[in-house]
Amino acid sequence: IVWGIVLTCTIFTPLIPSIMAKVALLVPVVIGICKVLKVEAKSATASALMLVVFFALWSPKMAFMTASTDSILTAGILEQYLGVKITWLAWAKDMFIPGILWMLVSIPLIYILRPQHLNLNKEYLKIEYRKLGKITIDEKKTVTLITALLILLIFSSWHKLPEGVLMLGIGCLGFFPGIGLLKSDDFSKIQFKVVFFLAGAVTIGAVASSIGITESVINFVQPYFEQMNSYELVMSIYIFSILANFLLNPLALIATLMIPIANLCSNLGYSATIGGYSMIMGFNQALFPYEIAPLMLVYGFGYLKLTHLIKVMVFRIVAGIIFMTVVTYPYWLYIGLLDK
């Protein structure tokens, strides 16, 4: 059951650029499994299954630039304010292996809760699968559009079209006659408050940079960072990001701190992307639900117990420091990302 959830979430990861949407889509499915197997809400088993969904969506989202809002925002800031263009394929080269491996490290941590052994009846699954019926024309159209989008994103370094334009363009095709996947009523359901929130988040960083706050931060911390080697630099940014996440959500932190951190890495002779990637890895950690909106949504369904969450997350933070040391840093070193 655990690895079935993991596989499903991983398949969805590059297809939907919103962790909140994926949580809202997949958590009810897992709650349905809990109800079928008579798993009580907030039991160790229910908490474990809820954390499987969260880890399987929140960890591998780092592997794809368009899998989450914070990754898209990071790439946008690096390009707009620092002139560092990261293509979809380049992001995958740098982050796919760390992102997927980190998910595989995170998932087994749920067994700290000692969940009960569960077994879904095979015949029951066959009956429920047959109820779904044959794939519809609209479903075939959707798969075709998503496949086309992924191909365009992978080859974005060739055609030079911005990733945001590609995603908007494919979305607009859903309204076209003959395709008809979207209607005028669907447009009214767009959460424009999220759009304005993202615009405001980006503005925070832009204003901080224009009035000199960014430069002041760099001037203050640079003497300390100049004495660090590449490993110390990466781990300092990583741990700082974990601590900062207690105060602000990742989007606000990216908008506020991404420019100074990336500039600092550039001033020290490293790629600006090192700052962005290290922050993204750090923001993947959390101890309490309020730190990350998708985690708060998972918790809000009422099946995840707070003490279970904190217990697993403490071990996950420790595991993350070890993972950065023995996997992520050596990998970035190997691919030349840390070369001066």
Asked if residues 265 and 233 have their Cβ atoms less than 8 Å apart, the reply is yes
Per-residue model confidence (pLDDT) at position 132: 82
Per-residue model confidence (pLDDT) at position 165: 84
Per-residue model confidence (pLDDT) at position 102: 97
Domain ranges of the chain: 2-133+191-334, 136-182
Per-residue model confidence (pLDDT) at position 224: 77
Per-residue model confidence (pLDDT) at position 194: 62
Asked if residues 79 and 86 have their Cβ atoms less than 8 Å apart, the reply is yes
Q: Rounded distance, CA 293 to CA 283, Å?
A: 12
Per-residue model confidence (pLDDT) at position 307: 96
Per-residue model confidence (pLDDT) at position 217: 67
Flag whether the pTM goes above 0.95. Answer: no
CA triple 172-205-70, angle to 5 deg: 50
Q: Residue 116's CB: how many other CB atoms inside 10 A?
A: 10
Q: Rounded distance, CA 241 to CA 275, Å?
A: 10
Q: Rounded distance, CA 145 to CA 138, Å?
A: 11
Asked if residues 289 and 306 have their Cβ atoms less than 8 Å apart, the reply is yes
Nearest alpha-carbon partner for 87 in 156, 150, 146: 156
Mean pLDDT in order along the chain per 10 residues (340 residues): 92 85 89 90 95 95 89 87 86 95 96 89 81 88 87 79 82 89 82 68 65 70 81 93 85 83 88 93 92 88 94 97 97 92
Q: Rounded distance, CA 51 to CA 60, Å?
A: 14
Q: Residue 302's CB: how many other CB atoms inside 10 A?
A: 11
Nearest alpha-carbon partner for 302 in 34, 18, 20: 34
